[in-house]
Structure 1
Amino acid sequence: MIEETSKKTMDHKIQLAVEAYQFLKNTTIKERAEFMNAVADHIEALGEELLTTAHAETSLPLARLTGEKARTIGQWRSYAKAVASGIYTESRIDLAQPEKQKGDLRKYNIGIGPVLVFGASNFPFAFSTAGGDTASAIGAGCPVIVKAHPAHPKTSQIMADAITATVERSGWPEGIFSHITGTSHEIGSYLTQHKDIHAVAFTGSFNGGKALFDIANRRENPIPVFAEMGSINPVFAFEQLLEDKAENLAKEYASSLTLGVGQFCTNPGVFIALKGNHLNRFITALKKEITEIVPVNMLHKGIFDNFEKLKGIASEQSEVEIIAEVNTKINEWQGRAVVAQTTGQNFIQNPILSEEIFGPFGIIVACETSEELLQIAHQLKGQLTITVAGTAQDVRENLNLINLLKDKCGRLLFNGMPTGVEVVYAMQHGGPFPSTTDTRFTSVGPDAVKRFVRPISFQNWPDEFLPEELKDENPLQISRIVDGEVNSGSLKLETV
């Protein structure tokens, strides 16, 4: 039974976060990085209980969970390194010029305030209680209040205890991190509306993310909601590549489509190509690959039921034909891979076929002409990823289409499949609406910290009262822009 956190308790935790925010404003980037590394150490030390608990609650294989634990630890450490470098302070100094009657101006970024983080169902470690949202918010200088996902409450509590223990050992205020549980949607709504919450991070369904976005924008003081809501991640496959590698591409696509029972936000749910023998070869090979997939449990019954419902709706649309399906089934929660096929015109005319189906469902769109490919690209909604499967010659012959695709996604791939999301600076895990609510930011990689900072400028302040990041001596030894030039040294002025 999951405890429903009361409004009184939530109010208390938010007040503690408000107080902790004042504390964090006086910490340096180095101190926050040390704290983040300590959290990583604590998570690394967690034993088999974490893995076995998560396995029991999510049905995810132990090997996958072991890798995800390592990724989570890596996120805390890589984000800590980025924070300590000073890159996200964006420190700017324009020195006084008395002869021009120009004052001294210094600007840097500080944490935006208490951040509400919603745990995700499909990544119990990396996108949940101790995931990248929590790490990046604390790195930015923001206290975090986590709303645990009800699909894995025990796992969430273990991770929450690890962060809380680190807070206690560091001697930092209790409100640096809080953990809230419950199954009611009202809890998320109440927290998002609270006047002392300054930003929201969410990974999940479109309906959930959009609801939070709307609530936040109806507030007297609207706040940013950084919601990653998934997409169909289309693959545009071109003739020359299909001619050369149809069978290999079918293997790659089937593997990506069914990875993790299709429960990835970057699952390539739509495959688009021109009709012809090359596409027929791809389809023949894909049928073989799909029917050999062994079905396994989905994350929980709610996701399985929604997958079955949406799969049924898409399959029943006119001019949609099921061409491959896994028939083996051992228990009621197993997601069986399905691939359907339709025409380019039908895909263009039926918006239902452009909706995400969270699970191992793919649809092949066979287009008659290159103009249909362009029509599909024009009407695509915002995507996390789009893949161009082609040769260099394919790209040269389709530059107009590919240029258009740049407007539709956050990550544009040239070959390969999109389900691998690297936790690095150059990763963009975010795209135009409705894949996310703010296309300017990423939720993966150190740049995720950018979501939770805001600039503040100091004019004519004595050096002793400035933050460490802006003092003349540059005690943190970070790179700053001084009078328009990159400068990593001290600015101690000579006295006359």
Structure 2
Amino acid sequence: MNQTKEILDAYVQKSAEAFQFLKTTTVTERAAFMHAVADNIEALDDNLFEVAHRESALPMARLQGEKGRTVGQWRSYGDAVAKGTYIDARIDRANPESGKNDIRKYSVGLGPVVVFGASNFPFAFSTAGGDTASAIGAGCPVLVKGHPGHPETSQIMADAISKTVKEFGWPEGVFGHVAGDYVEGTDTLIGAYLTAHPTIQAVGFTGSQQGGKALVAVAAKREVPIPVFAEMGSINPVFALPELLESKAEEFAKQYVASLTLGTGQFCTNPGILVAQTGSAFERLKAALSEAIQEAKPTAMLHPGIAKNYVDKKQPFHSQEQVTILAESATKAEQTQGQPTIAWTNAEAFLSNTQLSAEVFGPFGLLVEAQSTEQFVEIANALEGQLTATIAGTENDLATNRSLASVLQDKVGRLLFNGMPTGVEVVYAMQHGGPFPATSDPRFTSVGPDAVKRFVRPISFQNWPEQFLPAELQSSNPLKLTRTVDGQPTSDIL
């Protein structure tokens, strides 16, 4: 890999040089760049969909919607950057009588960032995804390690960003792209090398726990450790409470299976565990789940490796004691498809066997039969950190199960009351992150404009002359930002 290291070093050096340039840009200039990237992605023709469909097997309608989401991310994040939301400018003016200094603070980019493309969202979480958009918005150059599952798609999106860099006359190193199939057999080594590189200052990752934990370990062993913002998946438990099931068991079962099989179950918010209380309503739920899963059709998974992994991860449930396969799709899956499957176990077995809480990436759900709602709380306490959890119930159910809601707040980044977790809206209030091992740092989100917060750090300027201050902190407020001045928000000229 010696020759590869030389090439990677050259990429990183360009990123370092570009960082010095980005430090001179304002939030307004970076926002304009982000809108231009959105325009160039939006202008891509149907070849993008054809290539992405061939590489990922995702349906055209899904890819068209995801392209729209990607464009929207760049624009909405750009709008948030332009407002100065994430520089968090604060000014405490001097008071000569008391000897108080003039102190001004805002947030700046961390430095060059490595982003690892995800397999299941080739547009919105990959090369031109939210990690790249938020890092550039923060003022950080980005070096993307393209995902080997969709190398041509990755290159098309990379070209759209690089085109924007040229149009703006910005340094080439503002955005770099290392192809996913760059050197056969060295993909993992490239990721580790970039993460360990002393010039790199942060990492954005979406993928498996194995991959995310490996990068966190590499970053922690550096002479100067850096943050790795890894989103590593989740089983996203759903707790179906008694009163709701009594009246809506069959309807709820259909909603659950629809969410479980959406996108062949290849979402990090896939509801892999369903907990309900034993009784007649539970039996109706179990029967309805079996019927719905048999009617569900197998669909293609992202690539053969993921299809094989799904089969391998699902297989132990066929041999576990106190686990029964309730039903599978009545249609036999082809080799690269995911067979929709529902299994059953009881709460005692679930609590005593940690293998039963492992994520199965695909259309697989485990129905857990609890003896009481008190046992729901035991199960919630036993869970690792999750991206989401859902309480399905009536308001009366919620009122009588407040301890469950309280425990789940400690376990998740997003707590739903009814509905299913697979829809992740790109809005300010979205929290797409959760306690470890769902993510490596639960303080941050990887979806929504707040994703920019991951890639900035604060710096204060004390008693600096006006003309040498960053525009964002100048008393004349040339960018017309809302800032906190002497403890009060204002956009006034000082």
TM-score by length of 2: 0.98
1:429-464 deviation digits (Å, cap 9, x = unpaired): 000000000000000000000000000000000000
* Kept after mapping to 2: 8 A contact 1:345/1:372: no
Q: How far off is 1:314 after superposition?
A: 2.4
Q: How far off is 1:4 after superposition?
A: 11
Residue 411 in structure 1 maps to residue 409 in structure 2:
no
Residue 318 (structure 1) aligned to one of 317, 321, 341: 321
Match of 2:335 in 1: 332
Residue 364 in structure 1 maps to residue 367 in structure 2:
yes
Match of 1:305 in 2: 308
Residue 120 (structure 1) aligned to one of 104, 118, 121: 118
1:380-436 deviation digits (Å, cap 9, x = unpaired): 100000000000000111111111110000000000000000000000000000000
Residues 444-463 of structure 1 aligned to structure 2 (within 5 Å): 444-463=447-466
Match of 1:262 in 2: 265
Paired with 1:5 and 1:44, the residues of 2 have a C-alpha distance of 36
Residue 468 in structure 1 maps to residue 471 in structure 2:
yes
Paired with 1:255 and 1:313, the residues of 2 have a C-alpha distance of 24
Secondary structure of 2:338's match?
Answer: coil
- Residue 339 of structure 2 aligns to which amino acid in structure 1? R
- Residue 286 of structure 2 aligns to which amino acid in structure 1? I
**Structure 1 segments (4+ residues) deviating >3 Å:** none
Structure 2: gaps (5+ residues): none
Residue 60 (structure 2) aligned to one of 59, 62, 71: 62
Paired with 1:5 and 1:116, the residues of 2 have a C-alpha distance of 20
- Residue 87 of structure 1 aligns to which amino acid in structure 2? T
Match of 1:494 in 2: none
Match of 1:102 in 2: 100
1:35-79 deviation digits (Å, cap 9, x = unpaired): 000000000000011000000000000000000000000000000
Paired with 2:341 and 2:53, the residues of 1 have a C-alpha distance of 25
Secondary structure of 1:110's match?
Answer: strand
Match of 2:35 in 1: 37
Match of 1:383 in 2: 386
1:357-385 deviation digits (Å, cap 9, x = unpaired): 00010000001123321111111100000
Paired with 1:4 and 1:97, the residues of 2 have a C-alpha distance of 59
The alignment of Structure 1 onto Structure 2 pairs a total of residues equal to: 489
Match of 1:433 in 2: 436
Residue 223 (structure 1) aligned to one of 217, 223, 226: 226
Match of 2:177 in 1: 179
* Kept after mapping to 2: 8 A contact 1:327/1:336: no
Paired with 1:425 and 1:268, the residues of 2 have a C-alpha distance of 23
Q: How far off is 1:5 after superposition?
A: 8.0
Match of 2:88 in 1: 90
Match of 2:252 in 1: 249
Over the aligned positions, Cα root-mean-square deviation in angstroms equals 1.1
* Kept after mapping to 1: 8 A contact 2:26/2:471: yes
Residue 394 in structure 1 maps to residue 400 in structure 2:
no
Residues 264-279 of structure 1 aligned to structure 2 (within 5 Å): 264-279=267-282
Secondary structure of 2:457's match?
Answer: strand
Paired with 2:258 and 2:330, the residues of 1 have a C-alpha distance of 17
Paired with 2:140 and 2:478, the residues of 1 have a C-alpha distance of 22
Paired with 1:385 and 1:330, the residues of 2 have a C-alpha distance of 29
Q: How far off is 1:102 after superposition?
A: 1.2
Paired with 1:154 and 1:370, the residues of 2 have a C-alpha distance of 50
Match of 1:15 in 2: 13
Residue 203 in structure 1 maps to residue 199 in structure 2:
no
Paired with 2:457 and 2:317, the residues of 1 have a C-alpha distance of 43
Q: How far off is 1:282 after superposition?
A: 1.1
Q: How far off is 1:330 after superposition?
A: 5.5
Residue 162 (structure 1) aligned to one of 123, 148, 160: 160
- Residue 79 of structure 2 aligns to which amino acid in structure 1? K
- Residue 156 of structure 1 aligns to which amino acid in structure 2? S
Aligned sequence identity (%): 60
Paired with 1:444 and 1:207, the residues of 2 have a C-alpha distance of 22
Q: How far off is 1:315 after superposition?
A: 2.6
Paired with 1:68 and 1:155, the residues of 2 have a C-alpha distance of 13
Structure 1: gaps (5+ residues): 492-496
* Kept after mapping to 2: 8 A contact 1:433/1:439: yes
- Residue 384 of structure 1 aligns to which amino acid in structure 2? L
Paired with 1:331 and 1:265, the residues of 2 have a C-alpha distance of 23
